[in-house]
Chains A and B, each alone.
Chain A
Amino acid sequence: MTVNTDAIGKRYEPLTYAVGREKIVEYALATGETDPVHLDLAAARATGHADVVAPPMFAVVYQGRSVAQAMFDPALGIDFAHLVHGQQEFRWDRLAVAGDELTTTLTVADISEKIGIGFYAFATESVNQRGETVCAGTWTNIVRPPQ
């Protein structure tokens, strides 16, 4: 298998995600969160937050559409039948809360190949409506050669 590395450095159009209170609650329940700041407005406000607080890993929700942009980009030609999520990294500079509007930009950080296995690394960065960085991610997908 030969991977096409032409797309390294490609930057996609920024996408904005409006963080909804009930979406945070739905995500928090689906991931077993019990901290009331993720589940209850009064509890979040009582601890000094403007609104219900997104769990850190909610980043997968607001960055997800940007990742899909690259995953489904014909220029990358990712073979879904042999795709696995290899590695994931996030760095959080500040919390996201309900009501935030988060704009995420994705860059193809790297594409490489080792012994027939393709590695695709996507870098995401999300800023809030005040221009403050909320979260940066690195998504590494592995495409194994067909058996």
Chain B
Amino acid sequence: MKPGDEIELKVTPDRYATVRYAGASGDFNPIHIDEEFARRVGLPGRILHGLWTMAQVARAHTEAFGGPESLQSLSVQFRGMGVLEQEITVHGTVGEVGQSTAVVSSEATQAGKRIVRNGRAEVRVRSAG
């Protein structure tokens, strides 16, 4: 791993992604699972859970850097809203690489809009040998 290395993950949440995530996470806010309710409160339709999108950002790191142990910390800001059935791209760039950890900055975009920004992770660097 060296500064400037890039990671990318592409994922398209299917029509029922928020329903499954609601059950898995316990977050049943109707803006995520009830189309009619979401429209009634002025949304374009059901929107993604921010924490589902953050899980995709986390997965981009754990898949690139050697599994769940590799992720030491992750912080993100949520902006805008993610929608179903449109591809999301998580993109990350390795910054400073230290003795034991490296810093990775990231964002998630959908249809050209940033839905997660200022992602910052510390990733554990595995020593060679």
Instruction: Name A residues whose Cβ lies closer than 8 Å to a Cβ of B.
Output: 23, 26-27, 29-35, 37-38, 53-57, 60-61, 64, 84-92, 95, 138
Contacts and interface: CB of A to CB of B under 8 A. Distances in A.
B58 interface: yes
A31 B17 CA distance: 8
B56 interface: yes
Given A26-B23, A27-B24, A33 B59 contact: yes
Given A27-B25, A29-B20, A30-B25, A91 B68 contact: no
A91 B121 CA distance: 9
Contact of A86 (B56, B72, B78): B78
Contacts of A88: 50-51, 54, 75-76, 78
Given A27-B25, A29-B20, A57 B51 contact: yes
Contacts of A30: 17, 20-21, 23-25, 52
Contact of B68 (A32, A37, A86, A90): A37
A64 B59 contact: no
B51 to A, nearest CB: 5
Contacts of B72: 91-92
B89 to A, nearest CB: 14
B5 interface: no
Q: State the main secondary structure of chain B at its contact with A.
A: helix
B59 A89 contact: no
A84 B49 CA distance: 11
B71 interface: yes
B71 A85 contact: no
B13 to A, nearest CB: 9
Contact of B75 (A32, A54, A64, A89): A89
B102 interface: no
Nearest to A38: B68
A89 B74 contact: yes
A31 B21 contact: yes
A85 B11 contact: no
Contacts of B68: 35, 37-38, 53-56, 95
Contacts of A57: 51, 54-55, 58
A31 B52 contact: yes
B86 interface: no
B129 interface: no
29 contacts: A26-B23, A30-B25, A31-B56, A32-B11, A32-B56, A34-B63, A35-B63, A35-B68, A53-B68, A54-B68, A55-B58, A55-B68, A56-B58, A56-B68, A56-B71, A57-B51, A57-B55, A57-B58, A61-B25, A64-B25, A85-B78, A86-B78, A88-B54, A88-B75, A89-B75, A92-B71, A92-B73, A95-B68, A95-B69
